[in-house]
Structure 1
Amino acid sequence: MDIVRTVELKESIIKNNDADADKLRAELDEQGVYYVNVMSAPGSGKTTLLVALAKALKGRCKVGVMEADIDGDVDAYTVCEAGAEAIQLHTGGMCHLDADMSRQGFKEFATTSDIVFLENIGNLVCPAEFDTGAHLKVVLLALPEGDDKPLKYSLMFSVADAVVFTKTDTAKYFDFDVEKCKGYIRSLNPNAKVFAVSARSGEGVNEFADYLYGKYAEWKEGLK
């Protein structure tokens, strides 16, 4: 088993995070790295989906993952075992990452990946407020969480480029109205793309992987 590096992040002292996020995006453009911020509540299936995506994207592009947690490294090892580059980021109790903390992670990661996913801290509040420097923001919503989550955490769903319903294989056990939830999302964010996946059964994984690869290819073409 590969040894996963763990990085203890330092709290950012940069006051203008938005400007720093723009600067980081420009730095990543120069390095040819497409950065995707994956956010959700705890237990929504971020790690499981990232493992499935790493397998689905294999052969098309190289995938890396920065796993952010308050403590532990189990998720980073899970991703690493799936064949993706991974590094564990510890936030020292902070419930989000910002652009400078992302930069600290990239500096230690020294990745050669084409697409780097950030598995952000499991939280639907704080991560929505901080630009990490990512090119794309993805929010996961597991069916067991309920179809009214967008109404309770409106900022998170307002800033998302894509929303992914996860654990669709559990649909028969929960009263989750997909169309109603899509309506809530559209009322907050008409431009957000909505996907439905089950990493367990594989349903929808390739469709979402195609979307991500398309966004990566579009970004890469724009750099020319």
Structure 2
Amino acid sequence: MCVTCGCGEGEVKIDGVAGHAHEHGHDHSHAQGDLHSHAPGVGQTRMVQIEQDVLAKNNAYAQANRDKLAERGVFALNLVSSPGSGKTTLLCKTIDLLGSTSVAVIEGDQQTSQDADRICATGAPAIQINTGKGCHLDAHMVGHALQQLPLADGALLMIENVGNLVCPAAFDLGEAHKVVILSVTEGEDKPIKYPDMFRAASLMLLNKVDLLPHLTYDVDAAIAFARRVNPAIRVIQVSATSGQGMDEWLTYLRAGMARTAAARQQTVAVLKARVAALEAQLQQAKA
């Protein structure tokens, strides 16, 4: 866990932000439920308090991000997975199909800008966050990235988190949903080995299904394990290579974008009605 691994040591780098200093430390375990991590000289009660303080601060940043995104009518997803699950390839294919003007991306990696470079090559705007030794993005980092990202009203924001099935589960970034990506080159039992992540996700993309003829992978078992942890989780089987499942994935994205845009329009209508009512009251007071 982060409390003992040194997570957060080293400088966080965000495209377009000079000398960004990560505001909070990571002297916490990120575990949900019972805590099993220990740090020398730190008692269990203090560990719990530290974790609660850090997550509370993160949640405040996340709500600020969520409010800003709602004002713009932006549908935001937090993509989480193990390293090598195919997130970036799937993102590039998604952008090609949706159109680069509809999508913006925040890329999270410990080092390099390779994934952001791949996204930018599609024509979509992308901001790279390098977390250094940090094992996840947090809402404070994402808030800074949003200030630099050219994000159109009504767009889709895809946040590709650092490859890790543990710590990102606990950190709200201000997204509408977490989407967990599990590739068929991984074990079917990942959902029960890393239950917090699959419990936190609304959707599981079972990726690289074009490889199934060459593997002894039990799709039904993987889905059953995911639903044992999270009975409500939706599952879409996809392949960026063959195109299988991409229509269903795009339908999910377009529906989310439409709901977000409709919610924004409703909020604007309510505000306009309120302004009109106040103006009417003012005119009556002057009469």
What is the TM-score when the length of structure 1 is the normalising length? 0.91
Larger Rg: 2
**CA positional deviation for 1:173:** 2.2
Q: For residue 234 of structure 2, what is the aligned residue in structure 1?
A: 193
**CA positional deviation for 1:111:** 2.3
Deviations 1:110-164 (A, max 9, x none): 4226011111000101111111111121000000101110010000000001000
Q: Compared with structure 1, are the counterparts of its residues 52 and 9 closer, same or farther at alpha carbon in structure 2 (3 Å cutoff)?
A: farther
Q: For residue 196 of structure 2, what is the aligned residue in structure 1?
A: 155
Which runs of no fewer than 5 residues in structure 1 stay unpaired?
none
Aligned counterpart in structure 2 of residue 141 of structure 1, from 173, 182, 190: 182
Q: Compared with structure 1, are the counterparts of its residues 103 and 92 closer, same or farther at alpha carbon in structure 2 (3 Å cutoff)?
A: same
Runs of 4+ in structure 1 deviating by more than 6 angstroms, as ranges, are none
Q: For residue 10 of structure 1, what is the aligned residue in structure 2?
A: 21
1:10 and 1:201 map into 2 onto residues whose CA distance is: 42
More strand by share: 1
1:87 and 1:174 map into 2 onto residues whose CA distance is: 35
**CA positional deviation for 1:9:** 5.1
2:170 and 2:96 map into 1 onto residues whose CA distance is: 31
Number of residues paired by the alignment?
Answer: 220
Match for 2:129: what amino acid? Answer: L
1:145 counterpart SS class: coil
**CA positional deviation for 1:12:** 3.4
Which runs of no fewer than 5 residues in structure 2 stay unpaired?
1-14, 25-52, 267-287
**For the Cα contact (< 8 Å) 2:16–2:148, is it kept in 1?**
no
Q: Please give the root-mean-square deviation of Cα atoms over the aligned residues, in Å.
A: 1.9
Match for 1:182: what amino acid? Answer: I
1:9 and 1:97 map into 2 onto residues whose CA distance is: 14
**For the Cα contact (< 8 Å) 1:146–1:175, is it kept in 2?**
no
**For the Cα contact (< 8 Å) 2:75–2:256, is it kept in 1?**
no
**CA positional deviation for 1:77:** 1.1
What is the TM-score when the length of structure 2 is the normalising length? 0.72
Alignment of 1:9-88 (within 5 A): 10-13=21-24, 15=54, 16=56, 17-58=58-99, 62-88=102-128
**CA positional deviation for 1:23:** 2.4
**CA positional deviation for 1:57:** 1.2
**For the Cα contact (< 8 Å) 1:140–1:164, is it kept in 2?**
yes
Deviations 1:57-84 (A, max 9, x none): 128x610111111111111111111121
Q: Return the structure number with greater relative CO, CA threshold 8 A, min gap 6.
A: 1
1:78 counterpart SS class: helix
**For the Cα contact (< 8 Å) 2:77–2:159, is it kept in 1?**
yes
**CA positional deviation for 1:179:** 1.2
